[in-house]
Structure 1
């Protein structure tokens, strides 16, 4: 009789983290405990024998209740029935004893779909542990290592879970973190002092955890170790999906382009349940894209030279699409489907691009027809809140859409505009994004199968939701002149100066001056009202209606508060946005100091107030 060896994949040690403090605006924290003290630390169990499995074409295993939290399936620990386990193509449901069987194929990742009411283990860095890579000979030679040889299929891969009331709560908060995208240690420290510090102070997301929406690093995959040191400071399970800057760029084929990501962080795609939500993390990046597949329709000519000029494309491969169909078929139709990918199914910033949206978007929409759903993405380094029925010209022209079938949210970026701009006294850059939005993280607050979104600006509480400015003729003239000056290789004149952006004169008022409100989570159905001094509140007008028009671009559609930073200190420019409102100032406004009171109201009736003090002079 051969001996059987049990291997626990990953080493479980505990790293102390400072006590968590609820951030202003976070969910009620009374039911939350200290995460570091209560977190389930562990790993999956891989069982091997000298002889190997009787049938190496089938993988067996058990999903079990790890009551003693040692990550080993002991005889006294019951299997858990009705749990989905997948090899990335097929989906099996565990039987009454928690057992599953899956076909084996080379280069597969086997993962468990966490059921609500249970929690998968996390390692010492809070990275969720729920998958096993099977690649017998290992990755081809890759700069960052890829997957080490796994050898033959094991006798069993067992997935430990523990019961958790936090994952089955009616009310849950899920961190959806866009583009961390650190290119070097300096930027790792920017993230640590910024958004990661904010997450370390929050304890409202322990049940759902955080999902990092791709571009976890900026091409240097050796920084994954540094990223895990960051997630060690957070207060919940950390999960990751891949982005176009997480690629093994030296992979000759798409089959191995995310091997290092898979080895270090997570499967390329997977799903998990919390409360009444089913969260699907997709891989929406195909690299290198190829002419026979990506450009079969002639709309992706950039994919024609994968050997000499490799490029990526927004695409879901056929195997993943098959898995998605099978995964959704197992999900109760009353659940909320949260479908996330790095490259968005559709987005505003790149609405006219095939590369930066997903080729199979319409197929995904057809799968989700009749379900309550929301899509999330990163990639565009902008904040976007697009509602059901919203439409842009590019979506109609490229995909034949006549309106979004359900809300789509682009989460913004922790890196903002790639950590550009002035470094603030708090130790991280302003990094205003291409829509003028400030860096931060998106939170999806779940209540049964419904959701509300909120964006938290780095270093701020949840009440900071707007950015005010003045868009005057003087500003627009300066914008054009400064932008041209920035484009000169060797300027021969001094840089054009804007002067005080909150001072306007009679000529500015006569030539149309708008008070602008960049409402970060503003959307169709949101309103912005402006009251000047003690006057009556009046409605501002949204610059981008999202009713099938093309993007409105240029100085008159820009966010002047953002542009004044970006054109001088780098980043952007925020010359278009789908969440900017304008209020035209009266031409006869008296000389002197004025106070503008702004109230922004979102689709849920939440009101956010802001104030801008400006001055009118007769002549500059």
Structure 2
């Protein structure tokens, strides 16, 4: 998410490009639109030829779009759509079928760009855009293969891997591939900021993700933009060349996945060096029309999973670049739907929001938005571990990692997977005390005591607080503390920075990226320690039960002196 003023690899490339890119002009004349419509057939590729024919029958009832309008294939698999001057025509993958996958990356190939003269040369793009496609074929056909899709399945949810250079691609390889070994997920998706401005790194990262062996769907973030574009229109040229349309949808089992783009690029920022720009959170009109048409063809009992980069809302503030301005327009499209959830990234925090009538949501139950943990955590900040990988604790104290979405019919749940925590730890416990024993501030022991909060002098117990950072929790999580065999005590949710990560950031200035700081965490619980504990070591257990009824636990050995 963050913009900064350090010289990035992308800025160095921009400097090398100099005025040559700015001076580029369109060399090709505008081509007249050959036809007002595009048509073709969606067929089952039974023989592996990727060509429609007698042995590869057409598929009825499949949705095809030009990015605004949605057509439905007839009994013979044929469709017809209006053809804009420029568009990406794509098939909405139906349940029980899959598109071809790129053999090296497992990226789905479900689209065809219609860009007769390619990306405008006058943009002076630093990173390659879309090459001229010429006229479309007389019949634009899409091949699909039949596949089994269970009612219950898992999905890998990643956001903000965001490598800024080759070394940070290494970090992703080491953190993600090991953590996903043995996964039973059916596919994965990335909710934006695939890159940190240097879009030349796409091929390497895609090849690494491809080794996971799953189909992988992507949307772009604010750091996946072509900043040379004057506005939103041509701001995704490189992303589109690599991944396809910047927004689209697909069905899997009984679920519809809406892959949306709510990064509204406003153009270069004149106050900053070339290679950065202004943006806000907003869905454009064509995208809203596409979703409206798509949902008109979607059964009402379908679970709708919407994925976007910028949150609908965040706890971090009300700035336009961190929230979605036309959230109400998005909610209006989902009106009457009982089964919906949305996921986002962008903020490098972990958040749960529940929108009701006061927020413009008219459903019987609140709409749940889950802001996902960034794979890059605090933008790959912090000291290196024994592998040479940045520690990357997030600004709200969550370890860097990703999530697993489990779906069963219209029901869903999520599970956080930390990339580095021992045994997949789901919470961190620490103690805040006004007193720090007899150690001096210059001693290493004092720093460790300040970080972990133990031991605690008996006289300070009444002024000491247990802090539980339950990494993937929200307001519907209930947390209790038990000390020894005493009765459990309810802990109180508190919006404040995590003292652990405050201390980690302060002691690692040299490896902390300049804009990184500890921000208020929405998943901290606190409880005062009882003042009558006798000296000795006490077992402290914390139990958290989340909105899905799942329980996670943490344990601390509290030393009282």
Q: If the TM-score is normalised by the length of the shorter chain, which range does it land in?
A: 0.7 to 0.9
Partner of 2:498: 559
Q: Output the CA distance in 1 between the equivalents of 2:538 and 2:41.
A: 69
Change over 3 Å in CA distance of 1:562–1:196 after alignment to 2: same
Aligned to 1:367: 333
Q: Deviations over 1:225-252 (max 9, x none)?
A: 1111122111311010010000001112
C-alpha displacement at 1:526, in angstroms? 1.3
1:181 aligns to 2:162 (yes or no): yes
Aligned to 1:337: 304
- Cα distance between partner residues in 2 of 1:273 and 1:462: 34
Q: Which one of 121, 139, 160 corresponds to residue 156 of structure 1?
A: 139
- The aligned residue for residue 447 of structure 2 is 498
Name the counterpart of 2:316: 349
TM (normalized to structure 2)?
0.85
Distance of 1:84 and 1:403 partners within structure 2: 29
In the TM superposition, what whole-angstrom CA distance separates every residue of 1:471-530 from its partner, at most 9, and x where no partner exists? 22358xx9xxx9xxxxxxxxxx999963423222245434x2211111122122211111
**Among 353, 357, 379, the residue aligned to 1:418:** 379
1:445 and 2:389 correspond? no
Q: Distance in 2 between matches of 1:97 and 1:54?
A: 27
Structure 2 residue matching 1:473: 3-state secondary structure:
coil
Residue deviations 1:560-605, cap 9 Å, x none? 2322322212365434111111111012322232221111111222
Q: 1:469-484 counterparts in 2 under 5 A?
A: 469-474=430-435
| Counterpart residue number, 1:509 | 461
2:48 match: 69
Equivalent residue, structure 1, for 2:481 = 530
1:13-49 CA distances to partner (integer Å, 9 max, x unpaired)? Answer: xxxxxxxxxxxxxxxxxxxxxxxxxxxxxxxxxxxxx
Decide which of 315, 319, 326 is 2:282's aligned counterpart.
Answer: 315
In the alignment, which of 228, 238, 242 is matched to residue 206 of structure 2?
A: 228
Q: How far apart in 1 are the matches of 2:277 and 2:32?
A: 40
Report the TM-score when normalising by structure 1: 0.78
Shift of 1:71: 2.0
Is 107-116 or 402-411 further displaced after alignment?
Answer: 402-411
Decide whether aligned partners of structure 1 residues 474 and 332 sit closer, same or farther in structure 2, where only a CA change above 3 A counts: farther
Superposed, 1:21-420 pairs within 5 Å as 56-124=35-103, 125-141=105-121, 142-165=125-148, 167=149, 169-199=150-180, 201-206=181-186, 209-288=187-266, 310-350=277-317, 352-371=318-337, 372-389=339-356, 405-420=366-381
Q: Is the 8 A contact 1:53 1:155 kept in 2?
A: no
- Unpaired runs of at least 5, structure 1: 1-51, 291-301, 483-492, 544-551
Distance 1:468 1:537 in 2: 16
Distance in 2 (alpha carbons) for counterparts of 1:463 and 1:253: 43
Q: Which residue of 2 aligns with 1:546?
A: none
Partner of residue 21, structure 1: none
Q: Confirm or deny that 1:584 pairs with 2:533.
A: no
Q: CA deviation at 1:613?
A: 1.3
The separation in 2 between residues aligned to 1:441 and 1:188, in whole angstroms, is 16
1:568 aligns with 2:507: yes
1:88 Cα deviation from its structure 2 partner: 0.2
Cα–Cα, structure 1 residues 466 and 389, in superposed 2: closer, same or farther, change >3 Å? farther
Q: Contact 2:47–2:55 (CA<8 Å) still a contact in 1?
A: no
CA change 1:108–1:347 in 2 (3 A) is same
Bigger Cα displacement from structure 2, 279-288 vs 589-598:
589-598
Question: 1:73: how far off?
Answer: 2.1
Equivalent residue of 1:288, what SS?
A: strand
**Structure 1 equivalent of residue 542 of structure 2:** 598
Q: How far off is 1:356 after superposition?
A: 1.2
Q: Measure, in 1, the Cα distance between the counterparts of 2:382 and 2:229.
A: 34
CA distance in 2, matches of 1:309, 1:320: 24
Cα distance 1:59–1:370, how it changes in 2: closer, same or farther (>3 A)? same
Equivalent residues of 2:227, 2:275 under 8 A apart: no
Unaligned 5+ segments in structure 2 are: 1-30
Equivalent-residue separation in structure 2 for 1:224 and 1:262 (angstroms): 12
CA 1:370–1:473 in structure 2 vs 1: closer, same or farther (change >3 Å)? farther
- 1:444 match: secondary structure: strand
Change (3 A) 1:109 1:379: same
C-alpha contact 2:393 2:399 (8 A) present in aligned 1: yes
Using the TM superposition, name which of 411-420 and 602-611 deviates more: 602-611
- Show the counterpart of 1:36: none
Residues 182 and 436 of structure 1: CA distance in aligned 2, closer, same or farther (over 3 Å) = same
Aligned CA distance change for structure 1 residues 575 and 586 (closer, same or farther; 3 Å):
farther
User: What's 1:609 paired with?
Assistant: 553
Question: How far 1:103 moved relative to its partner?
Answer: 1.1
Q: For 2:99 and 2:554, locate their aligned partners in 1 and report how far apart those are by CA, in whole Å.
A: 42
